[in-house]
Structure 1
Amino acid sequence: MEIYLLRHGIAEEGRTGMRDVDRPLTEDGRRRLRTTLKRASEAGVNPALILTSPYLRARQTTEIALKILAPGAVVLETGALTPGSDPAAAWDEIRLHRDHAQILLSSHEPLCGLLAAFLLGAPQVRLDFKKGAIVRIDVDSAGPHPRGVLKWMLAPRLA
């Protein structure tokens, strides 16, 4: 299974009275995200399923990914992809959909980095997940302790 971890694009700073869950993407965040996702499309990313955090900026990131990568993909919101979620809980959610060859997850830091390390079976690994970055990790087993392989990472400045 090819798992694509996508950190949301650049979002507006929080304002008085605005909940963190409601912060939208900035125009610059959208632009950079489109650039990165176009490169990901060229690399063959075309998931049939996208799992997304319910936070606004992650859902907006998912909408852009749908247009560029997978117009026909099914989108499911899950609380397992919020910023403070447990990587093992996120993996349990992914395992429910292991029949898909490619799954895209639209999420946040610190979960993206922690989940990448969990999927690699290497908790000491720390990936620098910039906003709008996407990582491909291939996982062959759907057991409780994955041992994935990091295939590539694209960040907005590298795309």
Structure 2
Amino acid sequence: MELYLIRHGIAQAREIALPDEVRSLTDKGRDKTRQVAQRLYDLGVRFDIVLTSPLVRSQQTAKILHDCKLSRNNIAESAHLAPDGSIYNWLDWLKEQQYPQQTQLALVGHQPNLGHWAEILVWGEQRAKLVLKKAGIIGITLPETDSPIGQSQLYWLTPPKFLL
């Protein structure tokens, strides 16, 4: 399975009066995310499934991916991708889905979670070393095993500036 971890685009600044879950993409964030999505499309990247965090900025990023025809299906929300989500709970959920090995799955979420998830999948532990920039992508191949933890292969770590 190919897993693409995609961080949401540039969002509104944190403010006391603005709850984190409703912060949306800025105009610059939408534009940059569209440019990244278009470049991915040009490279032939497509997703069978796009799962997004329930937070607005991630949902907006996932919609841009879908609108740029990167997604073959509709977008689904996953609470596991919220900032307090657990990779272990998500892996249990993934196992239940029984997706075919050739599935290309995009997860749209947040940093540091996505960086930590990639580290756990590749190295078997969180090292707090992988940084995923806004609208950046990590590509990981999950092996055909019951537990991909520490057995997955990192094949892509790209900040948006290298796609634009």
Note whether the superposition's TM-score is higher than 0.5: yes
The number of equivalent residue pairs is 159
Report if the CA contact (8 A) 1:6-1:107 is conserved: yes
Alpha-carbon distance between aligned partners in 2 of 1:114 and 1:46, rounded to the nearest angstrom: 24
1:49 paired with 2:53, answer no
TM-aligned CA deviation for residue 38 of structure 1: 2.1
Report if the CA contact (8 A) 1:45-1:69 is conserved: no
1:149 paired with 2:153, answer yes
Identity %: 29
Please give the residue correspondences for 1:121-136 in structure 2 after superposition, counting only pairs within 5 Å. Answer: 121-123=123-125, 124=127, 126-136=129-139
TM-aligned CA deviation for residue 140 of structure 1: 1.6
Q: Which residue of 1 aligns with 2:58?
A: 58
Please give the residue correspondences for 1:1-159 in structure 2 after superposition, counting only pairs within 5 Å. Answer: 1-100=1-100, 101-123=103-125, 124=127, 126-146=129-149, 147-159=151-163
Q: TM-score, normalising length from structure 2?
A: 0.87
CA change 1:97–1:42 in 2 (3 A) is: farther
1:111-135 Cα offsets, whole Å, 9 max, x none, are 1011111221342362121111011
List alignment gaps of at least 5 residues for structure 2. none
Pick which of 54-63 and 16-25 moved more. 16-25
List alignment gaps of at least 5 residues for structure 1. none
Once superposed, what is the RMSD of the aligned Cα atoms? 1.8
Q: TM-score, normalising length from structure 1?
A: 0.89
